[in-house]
Amino acid sequence: MNYRHAFHAGNHADVLKHVVLLALCDALTAKPAACFALDTHAGRGLYLLDGDQAARTGEAADGIARLGGGEGGPAPVRRYLDAVDACRRAHGQAAYPGSPWLLAHALREQDAIACCELQPDEAGALRANFRGDPRVAVHARDGYAAVAALLPPRVGGMRLARGLVLVDPPYELQLAEFDRALGALAEGLRRWPQACFALWYPIKLRRSLQPFLRAAAALEAGSVLACELLVRSADSPLRMNGSGMLLLNPPWQLDAALAPALGHLHVRLGGPGADHALHWLRAPA
């Protein structure tokens, strides 16, 4: 696998993914019981937007840079920007947090986080970035296999009932990656049916996603919600025109919280043909 997320840090897909991720974390931590988070494709957890890779693509200029300070934005967007500001206070103004950093920032002392990264250099950087944080366990292993190996979670000999699994693959295998991701979700639901599962997916041609969405709706989850942000018309198979977050067993009223955030991101990040959608593939009972 050759994918390096540093080339894409802070782009429109990261903005969507991280706004939703923090909303999920806040819903989890609203209750006092400890929870567990698994990040299956974690990357290094922390990026520099002025580094060689990020500067080469400049994708953050059409992502987080367009959001400004968040004045007047919906609460989930302000929450995201506050987290980015906290990261920059700790690591410098060019820093951008990956999902492991955001999980560590949003979750509590009693919670546990497992981060998986297959590439040795990225896994080494991830381990270095979280050295000294006893909540974060770094696994240099395949994230899909970790779903079977690490779920249901046990911390200190106790099984945790509540938590989140983030699946954020690189989609280098294109359509085959969708099948692998759906298989991991099915296995995760079998092992930990009460957890929330979040799968990020790219959107190029929207119509090509229909088989994937039908298969997602058929998973053995209590409910299935799709959150999508298109920054341009979804009519080119050669570039990523937007992305989505597939949420299995999302927290109650998360859709209502995210609706204004998606509209705001549509306006701030979108160009001609931009759109957004928030729709239930399987509504809650």
> Which DSSP string do the residues of 257-273 spell out, in sequence order?
HHHHHHHHHHHHH--TT
**Which segments of 30-129 does DSSP mark as H helices, in order?**
52-57, 75-91, 99-106, 120-129
Residue 241 CA to residue 235 CA, distance in Å, equals 8
Q: 24-74, pLDDT tens digit by residue?
A: 999 999 999 999 999 999 999 999 999 889 888 899 999 999 998 877 899
Domain segments of the chain as ranges:
5-282
For residues 238 and 204, the answer to whether their CB atoms sit within 8 Å is yes
Q: Which CATH architecture has domain 5-282?
A: 3-Layer(aba) Sandwich (3.40)
Q: 162-172, pLDDT tens digit by residue?
A: 999 999 999 88
Amino acid at 242: G
Provide CB contacts within 8 A for 190, sequence distance 6+.
220
**Six token digits for residue 74:** 């919906």
| pTM (two decimals) | 0.96
Catalytic entry in 14, 39, 111, 168: 168
> Quick one: which H or E segment has residue 179?
helix 175-191
Instruction: Provide the percentage of residues in the chain whose pLDDT is more than 70.
Output: 99
Provide CB contacts within 8 A for 87, sequence distance 6+.
46, 95, 96, 97, 101, 105
DSSP 105: H
Q: Is 168 a catalytic residue?
A: yes
**Six token digits for residue 108:** 């509590």
pLDDT tens, per residue, the chain with 285 residues: 556 788 899 999 999 999 999 999 999 999 999 999 999 999 999 999 998 898 888 999 999 999 988 778 999 999 999 999 999 999 999 999 999 999 999 999 999 999 999 999 999 999 999 999 999 999 999 999 999 999 999 877 788 889 999 999 998 877 789 999 999 999 999 999 999 999 999 999 888 899 999 999 999 999 999 999 999 998 877 789 999 999 999 999 999 999 999 999 999 999 999 999 999 999 998
Helix (H, G, I), strand (E, B), or coil: what is residue 282? strand
Residue 231 CA to residue 240 CA, distance in Å, equals 9
pLDDT at residue 2, rounded to an integer: 59
Residue 152 CA to residue 154 CA, distance in Å, equals 7
Residue at token pair 């991701």: 181
